[in-house]
Amino acid sequence: MIVLLVLFGAFMYFFMIRPQKKQQQKRQEMLNGLKKGDPIVTIGGLHGVIDSIDQQAGTVVIDSDGIYLTFNLNAVRGVASRPATPAPAAKSEEAANTDEQRAAKAADDTASEADSQAVASDDTTSEADNKQN
């Protein structure tokens, strides 16, 4: 009977208590490693960038698109895998590509309209010639 209790206690330790302690330790390391400028996600799903951290008070100020919010450190779910805002260089390249694509499409559309107007005027001329005959 004592052997069963010892086995049951060992089972609970290795499959319930130990993994939970590892999770808590990993989370505490993540919270201790936070610094200004890190992109994070809160438990409520808010994405933002850390503006300041007060370890003594246990708070963090998050900048979310110009809105500064203060949260408890425990409200931080984790560090986001990518920055909250895209790099400015990437935006300008995308805008340039988009502008080029729009210009090419507009040129194609203009050429198509000119072709269709030419065909329409040819049809109108031939109909007028047919009526005169």
Show me where the domains of the chain are located.
Answer: 1-32, 35-85, 86-133
Q: Look at residue 90 and tell me whether its pLDDT is greater than 80.
A: no
Summarised one tens digit per residue, pLDDT across range 108-132 is 666 555 555 554 455 555 554 555 5
Q: Look at residue 104 and tell me whether its pLDDT is greater than 70.
A: no
Q: How far apart are CA 71 and CA 57, in angstroms?
A: 11
User: At 60, phi and psi to the nearest 5?
Assistant: -140, 135
Q: Look at residue 42 and tell me whether its pLDDT is greater than 90.
A: yes
Q: Look at residue 59 and tell me whether its pLDDT is greater than 70.
A: yes
Percent with pLDDT over 70 in the chain: 61
Q: Quick one: 107 exposed, middle or buried, by C-beta within 10 A (0-12, 13-18, 19+)?
A: exposed
pLDDT for 84: 47
- Return the H-helix or E-strand segment holding 34: none
pTM of the model: 0.52
Please give the CATH number for the structural domain made up of 35-85. 2.30.30.30
